[in-house]
């Protein structure tokens, strides 16, 4: 017993997907979190709720609407086709796009909380010391909100690794393209191959536990400092 070639392929695909999604989420989520943390606009409520939606929606619902949007008659689908990129459903990039939506709240909320906790004072102090907006972000916000960014990255990564419903709706089950670990486990269970399913499922449990352990001990150390 051990990992089969198909397992290794699924693991590699999952890690590639989760890493890419984490990087994209940090790039997209940070400005959204920044805006949500500091705006006094009336749009704060609606935008915040929209970002948090994947927390409460069944993944199939999110997946269903993303499938429609990315399909040949959907606005995203028509856009990608007119750009010569083809259609996104049942491709790796379709999974990436869907995962970005699905894991968004796990990245935005920790960063937003960290920026809110920072308050105005350090940024104002930096502004009176000649620091421009970009300088203030890099020298004040990033170091002071580091635990928030770390939490966001780890949760975003782990949540993408663990997703299933959205993957099935958008990606289907194509080896090497969209068959991630969770789908591979599902396949084994369906084929009554419990031994093989155990290998993957147990390693996912251990992986998730380790990720959370690292996160909590890092945050604990930060709190002690």
Partner 1 sequence: MQTLSARIDFTRPDFRLRAHLRLPDSGITAVLGPSGSGKSTLLRLLAGLERPRAGCIRLGEHIWFSRAQAIDRPPSARAIGFMFQHYALFPHLSVAENIGYGLARGRERQRRVAEWIERLELAGLERRRPDALSGGQRQRVALARALAPRPRLLLLDEPFSAVDASLRQSLRLLLQELVSENDTSAILVTHDLEDARQCADRIGVMIAGRVRRLGESAEVLADPGDAEVARVLGWPNTLPVTQWAGDEACGTWGRVRLSRAPARAHEVVALLPDGPRPGAREGLEVEIAQVIEMGAYRALSCRLPDRTPLRLHLPRALPCPARGARTRIAVPPECVIALPARASVRFNHWSPHP
Binding site for partner 1 (CB under 8 A): 121-122, 124-132, 139-140, 143-144
Question: How near is the Cβ of 121 to partner 1 at its closest, in Å?
Answer: 4
* Minimum distance from residue 119 beta carbon to partner 1 (Å): 9
- Tell me how many degrees the CA angle 110-113-117 measures, rounded to the nearest 5: 140
List of long-range contacts for 62-67, beta carbons under 8 Å, 24+ apart: 62/98, 62/101, 62/102, 62/165, 62/166, 62/169, 63/98, 63/165, 63/166, 63/167, 63/168, 63/169, 63/170, 64/169, 66/97, 66/98, 66/101, 66/166, 66/169, 66/170, 67/169, 67/170
- The neighbour count for residue 149, using CB atoms within 10 Å, is 21
Which two structure tokens, joined as six digits, stand for 101?
A: 């939506």
Q: How far is the CB of 127 from partner 1 (least distance, A)?
A: 4
Q: Residue 78 or residue 139: which is nearer to partner 1 going by CB?
A: 139
Would you say 19 or 222 has its CB closer to partner 1? 222
Which CB sits closer to partner 1, 139 or 208?
139
- Cα separation, 14 vs 220, whole angstroms: 29
Is the CB of 15 or the CB of 218 nearer to partner 1? 218
Residue whose CB is less far from partner 1, 74 or 147? 147
Least distance to partner 1, CB of residue 201, Å = 41
Q: Which is nearer to partner 1, 81 or 124 (CB)?
A: 124
């Amino acid at each position: 017993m051990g990992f089969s070639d198909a397992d290794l392929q699924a693991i590699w695909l999952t890690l590639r997907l989760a890493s890419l999604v984490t990087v994209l989420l940090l790039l997209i989520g940070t400005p959204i979190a920044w805006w949500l943390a500091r705006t006094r606009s009336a749009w704060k409520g609606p935008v915040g709720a929209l970002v948090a939606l994947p927390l409460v929606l069944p993944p199939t619902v999110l997946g269903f609407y993303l499938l429609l949007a990315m399909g040949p008659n959907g606005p995203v689908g028509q856009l990608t086709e007119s750009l010569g990129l083809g259609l996104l459903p049942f491709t790796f990039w379709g999974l990436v796009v869907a995962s970005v939506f699905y894991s968004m709240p796990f990245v935005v909320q920790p960063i937003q909380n960290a920026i809110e906790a920072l308050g105005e004072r350090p940024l104002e102090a930096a502004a009176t010391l000649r620091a421009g907006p970009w300088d203030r972000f890099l020298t004040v916000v990033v170091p002071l909100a580091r635990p928030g960014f770390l939490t966001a990255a780890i949760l975003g990564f782990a949540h993408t690794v663990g997703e299933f419903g959205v993957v099935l709706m958008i990606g289907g089950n194509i080896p090497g393209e969209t068959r991630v670990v969770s789908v591979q486990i599902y396949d084994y269970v369906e084929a009554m191959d419990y031994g093989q399913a155990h290998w993957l499922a147990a390693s996912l449990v251990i992986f998730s536990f380790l990720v959370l352990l690292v996160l909590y001990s890092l945050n604990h150390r930060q709190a002690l400092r």
